[in-house]
Amino acid sequence: EIVLTQSPGTLSLSPGERATLSCRASQSVAHNYLAWYQHKPGQAPRLLFYGASIRIAGIPDRFSGSGSGTDFTLTIRRLEPEDFAVYYCQLYGDSPPLHTFGQGTKLEIK
């Protein structure tokens, strides 16, 4: 079973700064079947990327996803106030499916 480890646990930055969030898998992720979600308190989580780097329609292009194999990165180029949230990476596509989530990175305003 693949384990996803996200770092850092908490990232404190100011609006306008660049955020780099890491997701490391304990084994290589087949086909780069890795997704990223944004989750704000009291709201439903929102899918940002799938296939490690394919941006969902409507997600601003200041967000980018990259990586392959075991190392994946979510980058937010210039932070906007609405970007402060918890971000999760997730595996998908296995059979049988084990849609494992990473433990999350909290992006907070400095």
Partner 1 sequence: EVQLLESGGGLVQPGGSLRLSCAASGFTFSNCIMNWVRQAPGKGLEWISVITTSGSSTYYADSVKGRFTISRDNSKNTLSLQMNGLRPDDTAIYYCAGHRGNTYGPFDDWGQGTLVTVSS
Distance separating alpha carbons of residues 70 and 45, to the nearest angstrom: 24
Least Å distance, CB 25 to partner 1, is 15
Q: Which residue has the tokens 């190392």?
A: 71
**For strand 63-68 and strand 86-91, is the pairing parallel, antiparallel, or unpaired?**
unpaired
Contact with partner 1 (CB under 8 A) among 47, 60, 77, 108? 47
Distance in Å from the first CA to the final CA of the chain = 36
**Could you give the 3-state DSSP secondary structure of residue 82?**
helix
Q: Which DSSP state fits 101?
A: B
Least Å distance, CB 3 to partner 1, is 13
Q: For residue 13, state whether it binds partner 1 (rule: CB under 8 A).
A: no
User: Within 74-103, which residues bind partner 1 (CB under 8 A)?
Assistant: 86, 88, 90, 92-103
Q: For residue 24, state whether it binds partner 1 (rule: CB under 8 A).
A: no
Least Å distance, CB 35 to partner 1, is 4
**Interacting residues with partner 1 (CB under 8 A):** 35, 37, 39, 43-47, 50, 56, 86, 88, 90, 92-104
